[in-house]
Amino acid sequence: MLDQLLARPHDEARHLSGIIGGEKVRIADFSGLRVVAPFIALMPQWEFLDCVADLARLYPRFVLRMKTEAVGPVVENGRVEGLRVVENGTERTIRSRLVLAADGRRSVLREAAALPLEDLGAPMDVFWFRLTKLRTPDNRSTGVIATGRLLALLDRGDYWQCAYVFPKGSAEALRARGLDNFRADVARTAPFLAGTVAELADWDQVKLLSVALDRLTRWHRPGLLAIGDAAHAMSPIGGVGINLAIQDAVAAANILAGPMAEGKDPDGLLERVQQRRMLPTRIIQSMQRVAQNRLIDRIVLGNVPINRPPFLIRLMQRFPILQRVPARLVGLGFRPEHVRSPDALGARES
């Protein structure tokens, strides 16, 4: 499956760098990871999803419903027995032995199922926009940290995907100061963008991403299991949300697929999925909270002067092997999952 995924358009980031207090530093080196693909694959979301759909179509009973929105669960005698959906403008019901709520941090199914949510707090929001760039032989994704400002830049080949971090709830105040002021601040933070920042012609090109950090204290009820962002919204710090979401899916398949293929009731197994995935979720979110409190609060909210990289980052430059630690945390996490569920239909052999 990996070969089919990597045959799609993507860029490979083999290390992550940053510019802190005007000094360029390397923070994570993925080349030392003992995995088949020691890099981050930066790929348009639609390419990734299209690849997943193509692989799933190997299974004759797989059905993908496009233009179909889940609007709520079907609940009978206290158990979720399927979904209410709107398909091509018409509401209908889909019956199911198990519903997986993988509908993101604003999950309709999570809310309708009244699953208990713990809000961990996030002090920032993000303006999301793109600026053109020249394609380079290597991927140059980076982050820029300066006094009072933080800008993350993902190298997407011929453009930068930019994330401008600011205090939560201040989006309207920033817009009120005007687009010229915003463009000037971006150029001041990352001077190498000064030649392209004029591409931002109006605020419609700048999308607001409301950052959330939360998790369900119970991921399931009879007939329904929440995974991914629906179970635990991650901060964008580290870009690890997609990792945990896929690991949740693999863990759920490992625990549920075999018994369900044998006709067993999945309800008694749902707690095992949460038990498997809650620890790595807690650890990553705890690290993100520390980063928020010590980095975002101090730099973006506190305006603490940034004159040079902190001691730990300087130590990584002196001893590059230390760069493998954040690479492992970002690339693999604390509990990597491996596919162990049975391929009941023998799709790959067929």
Q: Is 77 helix (H, G, I), strand (E, B) or coil?
A: coil
The residue ranges of every structural domain in the chain are 124-167+169-209
d(CA 336, CA 104): 21
What pLDDT does residue 146 have? 84
- Average pLDDT (178-193) is 94
- Whether the per-residue pLDDT at 187 is higher than 90: the answer is yes
What average pLDDT does this structure show over 317-344? Answer: 88
E runs forming strands in the chain:
11-13, 15-20, 23-29, 40-42, 68-76, 79-87, 90-95, 99-101, 117-119, 124-132, 142-146, 149-155, 159-167, 207-209, 214-216, 220-221, 224-226, 232-233
**Of 272, 221, 264, which Cα lies nearest the Cα of 75?**
221
Q: pLDDT tens digits for 25-65?
A: 999 999 888 899 999 998 888 999 999 999 999 988 899 99
pLDDT digits 0-9 by tens, 57-97: 998 889 999 999 999 999 999 999 999 999 988 999 999 99
Q: In which band, very low, low, confident or very high, does the pLDDT at 344 lie, cut at 50, 70 and 90?
A: low
Q: What gap in Å lies between CA 10 and CA 46, rounded to an integer?
A: 12
When pLDDT is cut at 50, 70 and 90, the band that residue 346 belongs to is low
Task: Round to whole Å and give the CA distance between 71 and 321.
Answer: 49
Q: At what angle do helices 270-291 and 241-261 cross, to 10 degrees?
A: 170
Percent of the chain topping pLDDT 90: 68
Verdict on whether the full-model pTM lies above 0.85? yes
Of 85, 91, 44, give the one whose Cα is nearest residue 65. 85
